[in-house]
Structure 1
Amino acid sequence: MNEKVVSGTRNVAIVGPYLGGKTTLLESLLFVSGTISRKGRTVDRNTVADSSQEARDRQMSIEVCTASTDYSDVRFTFVDCPGSVEFAQETYNALIGVDAAIVVCEPHTNRVLTLAPLFKFLDDWEIPHLVFINKMDRANNNFMDVLNALKTVSSRPIVPHQYPIGQGEQLTGFIDLVSEQAYHYHPGAPADPVPMPEDLKEQEQAARTEMLEALADFDDHLLEELLEEINPPQEEIIQDLKMELGADLIVPVFMGVAEQDYGVRPLLEALLREAPDPATTAERRGIVLHADAPLAQVIKTYYTPQGGKLSLVRVWQGTLTDGIVLNGVRVGGLYRLMGQQQQSVTQAQAGEIVALGRLEAIKTGDTLTADAQLATELPKAEQTSPVYAMAIAPEKRNDEVKLSSAIAKLLEEDPSLAWEQHGDTHEVILWGQGDIHLQVALDRLRRKYNLPMTTHLPRVPYKETIRKTAPSVHGRYKHQSGGHGQFGDVYLEIKPLPRGEGFNFNQTIVGGVVPKQYIPGVEMGVREYLTHGPLGFPVVDVAVTLTNGSYHSVDSSEQAFKQAARIAMQEGMQKCEPTLLEPITSVQVCAPSEFTSKVLQLLSGRRGQILGYEAKSDWAGWDCVSAYLPQAEMHDFIVELRSLTMGVGFFNWQHDHLQEVPGKLAEKVLATNG
């Protein structure tokens, strides 16, 4: 199949909060550019982007999806990214491989805050981005109010590129602030030029002046023209927009109604004129090594039912061909993706985003080169920490052997998942970013790998310790069954240790009353008992000393002394006032300052100990609260935190120490686990 010759490439991510209309915008972009003849709808489960069954079941994007279209001899590869915060890692991994991003949002000032983490990532990585305010037919805020709200979450100047024309509450067209030409929307057709509405001239001039002044901050010549009241030519304005967008100095704002294709053609034209090309992006990223040496980076990994593993890569330099060896692995197929459909291609040039087949042992974020001597590690998106857990087990016990390999593939597809075989509770725990995130993972285990799972809340790994010393406890094991018997006799001292000291075993035997060869058996018996103490949990922070004992020259053995030690521990621990300990985590909760008081209340209500809070460095208007939080209170902490903070609050945590469980709560735990 002969490929169409194109003169350029643009890779554009479509990002934004959940329900903003990203997938609908992609359908419209593909439709108006002639790639598809009929648009799908999310509610009908027939869109190009939401092609996986898990996405269609939930009517939401749950993974990165690409689609290409040729427009004015330029090949656009659009990367549709999930909007849910639970799948943010997918978005961040993909964004490092694009030339620009369209941030899709709704025209509601009270939801603009949900863009803050995304804008922060884009600005930290200096990724050029523009805003498309979608659903303007449902706007309940003035356009300029929405612009002003956007300014509160962007560290780059927000620059209007258009101004809306409305009739009553209906959006009927727009004014292009560069050409000062007004346009009237038509369903299913390009907008028509119309005379400038007289009643909007003043607002249009104010918006245009705001745009020009923002551009002039980075162009002295334009500043001089404005000071001298010279109307700059369109070519100069477009050149400034292209230069300043490409350098991530400004954020141009467009608008429309993607469902009706309103504003989509002007958006596509602006991307054509103003979005940076791949060479500019590579230069901005400092990729100027060897122009002919293949260099690529994996931005997403898929496991497909038919084709096996596919690695979606951004080609930064050189040419990739089928069969090329990258990082010591031979490429088994080269494809351009349209949702889940694959089109074989013979080669991929610098600047393209394509899928490579069968790159085993290659992971998302990896840098790919053909020559090991020229190897360089390109920066990759920071890994998000898991914050929500579920204990899982196969419905069929025979499937346990398949579980680890299936989960390994699951984690390759989605690096924001993690799993562990917990040493204390012996559970397999799947970690992720929220309940929906883990439900999608479980659906994939069932559908892709025929591994239906049962789930329950992970058990809290409680421990126990003692408050008092038992100076001398006696344990004797004597067993006679014909022939040699069994005899072991020990005296132990059991005493508490400071928190965090763990376990110590010592012996003060004199005169050989317990022969040296039997002492390891005593320690073994003590250790075995401590795995399941009098309250039913592992015992910590205890010192045990073997102080005395006796033996039989024929009947004694290491095994007999092991049993004697267990008997002594069983008797002695009851005298030491055993007490329940719970794991305490150290958490840092980050949220916009307006929610700080709610965060403090949330932590206090979950038995948290507030350590303090301070402004979050490099995050304007955000605070970071430090606290100790019992692990027992953490299961749905992220759910409530997001609910209180419009979905933008997040936290990091790590195990810090063990602490006594309060009396009544300890009774409840022991009754539940009894």
Structure 2
Amino acid sequence: MKAYSTEHLRNLAVIGHGDAGKTQLVSSLLYVAGTTPRWGKVDEGTSVTDYEEDSIERRLTLNNNFAYLRYGDEKVNFIDSPGYAEFVSHARPAIRVADLALVVVDGVNGIEVQTERTWNYANEFMLPRFMVVNKLDKERADFAHAVETATESFARSIVPFTLPIGSEEDFKGVIDVVHEKAFEFNEAGKAKEIPIPEDQKELVSSTREKLVEIVAESDDDLLEKYFDEGTLSDEDVIPNLSKAIAKSKLCPVFAVSAETLVGLSTLLDY
């Protein structure tokens, strides 16, 4: 078995409201990364982390459960935490030992009570965060509303790294705002680059402008350069993304569907 040095190990606490799709997200990420040859599904009782009979029968996570994947040179350890009120307190010790919190938001319901509770747990330990807006293939899913309510509820530093292409059952791809590329996904979750849709170019531009502004605010030298030049180059922005995230000055948001695998390989690339 390959040994990983500390800089190539990541410990992620997967947190959020119950039924946001955390457990399915973990199983789908393992499948897309190639760690598991079989795609585990919550509805079929075959998910990787909900293996106890009670969890399978009730289709909900009762305790912190663990999984890992290998992707490139990285090994990512997941702590899949409960999201229902009776069990959500388990998320707190998961957050305490993690390097990063992966906050999963239901794309239909947006920010919910236990989303706020687990977010506050992460605040308590000053833990950096990624946010995933899941279930964007579902009826009434609204990525923009989910991001807007997250920004209003938590922080203006929450910025999309990917934007959805299509909505509800037509959600088939994402736009990578950082690298200004678009991808569509097949049924196996494999990405193929496509042109950025014309009707979304303005949104990509405005989202990237906000991203540049947030990165600038994370560092005094960058902020001074931003004020002097009115913007920052890719050479200034991209190397400083991880630094801004580590300081909790930036929370990236990703558009995905754990049930159709759309957007997952792009999430893994970050």
Q: TM-score, structure 2 length as denominator? A: 0.91
Aligned counterpart, 2:124: 124
Answer whether contact 1:107 1:139 (CA < 8 A) is retained.
no
Aligned counterpart, 1:184: 184
Matched, 1:175 2:187: no
Deviations 1:306-350 (A, max 9, x none): xxxxxxxxxxxxxxxxxxxxxxxxxxxxxxxxxxxxxxxxxxxxx
Specify the structure having the higher radius of gyration (Cα).
1
> 1:231 Cα shift?
5.1
Q: Unaligned stretches of 5+ in structure 1?
A: 271-674
Q: Distance in 2 between matches of 1:168 and 1:80?
A: 26
Question: Residues 23 and 110 of structure 1: is their aligned pair in 2 closer, same or farther, counting only changes over 3 Å?
Answer: closer
Q: Distance in 2 between matches of 1:168 and 1:17?
A: 21
Amino acid at match of 2:260: Q
> 1:22 Cα shift?
0.8
Residue 265 of structure 1 aligns to a residue whose secondary structure is helix
Aligned counterpart, 1:54: 54
Deviations 1:529-587 (A, max 9, x none): xxxxxxxxxxxxxxxxxxxxxxxxxxxxxxxxxxxxxxxxxxxxxxxxxxxxxxxxxxx
> 1:268 Cα shift?
1.4
Aligned counterpart, 2:66: 66
Deviations 1:337-374 (A, max 9, x none): xxxxxxxxxxxxxxxxxxxxxxxxxxxxxxxxxxxxxx
Amino acid at match of 2:4: V
Q: Distance in 2 between matches of 1:64 and 1:244?
A: 28
Aligned residues: 267
Aligned counterpart, 2:149: 149
Q: Distance in 2 between matches of 1:141 and 1:228?
A: 39
Answer whether contact 1:120 1:154 (CA < 8 A) is retained.
no
Amino acid at match of 1:83: G
Deviations 1:9-36 (A, max 9, x none): 1111111111111111111111112221
Amino acid at match of 1:228: E
Question: Residues 141 and 51 of structure 1: is their aligned pair in 2 closer, same or farther, counting only changes over 3 Å?
Answer: closer
Residue 260 of structure 1 aligns to a residue whose secondary structure is coil
Q: TM-score, structure 1 length as denominator? A: 0.38
Aligned counterpart, 1:232: 233
Question: Residues 156 and 204 of structure 1: is their aligned pair in 2 closer, same or farther, counting only changes over 3 Å?
Answer: closer
Which structure 2 residues correspond to residues 503-652 of structure 1 after superposition, within 5 A? none
Amino acid at match of 2:126: E
Amino acid at match of 1:5: A
Aligned counterpart, 2:257: 257
> 1:96 Cα shift?
0.5
Residue 102 of structure 1 aligns to a residue whose secondary structure is strand
Deviations 1:76-95 (A, max 9, x none): 11111111121122111111
Amino acid at match of 2:261: D
Which structure 2 residues correspond to residues 380-399 of structure 1 after superposition, within 5 A? none
Q: Distance in 2 between matches of 1:140 and 1:211?
A: 27
Answer whether contact 2:18 2:114 (CA < 8 A) is retained.
no
Q: Distance in 2 between matches of 1:58 and 1:255?
A: 27
Higher strand share: 1
> 1:139 Cα shift?
5.6
Which structure 2 residues correspond to residues 6-405 of structure 1 after superposition, within 5 A? 6-7=4-5, 8-108=8-108, 111-138=111-138, 140=140, 142-155=142-155, 157-166=157-166, 170-223=170-223, 224-225=225-226, 228-230=229-231, 232-233=233-234, 235-270=235-270
Higher helix share: 2
Answer whether contact 2:161 2:254 (CA < 8 A) is retained.
yes
Question: Residues 114 and 94 of structure 1: is their aligned pair in 2 closer, same or farther, counting only changes over 3 Å?
Answer: closer
Residue 172 of structure 2 aligns to a residue whose secondary structure is strand
Answer whether contact 1:16 1:103 (CA < 8 A) is retained.
yes
Q: Distance in 1 between matches of 2:249 and 2:142?
A: 25
> 1:206 Cα shift?
1.3
> 1:229 Cα shift?
4.1
> 1:220 Cα shift?
3.9
Which structure 2 residues correspond to residues 432-471 of structure 1 after superposition, within 5 A? none
Answer whether contact 2:104 2:132 (CA < 8 A) is retained.
yes
Amino acid at match of 1:175: I
> 1:100 Cα shift?
0.5
Greater RCO, CA 8 A, separation 6+: 2
Amino acid at match of 1:251: C
Amino acid at match of 1:253: V
Q: Name the % identity.
A: 30
Q: Distance in 2 between matches of 1:53 and 1:62?
A: 11
Aligned counterpart, 2:3: 5
Amino acid at match of 1:250: L
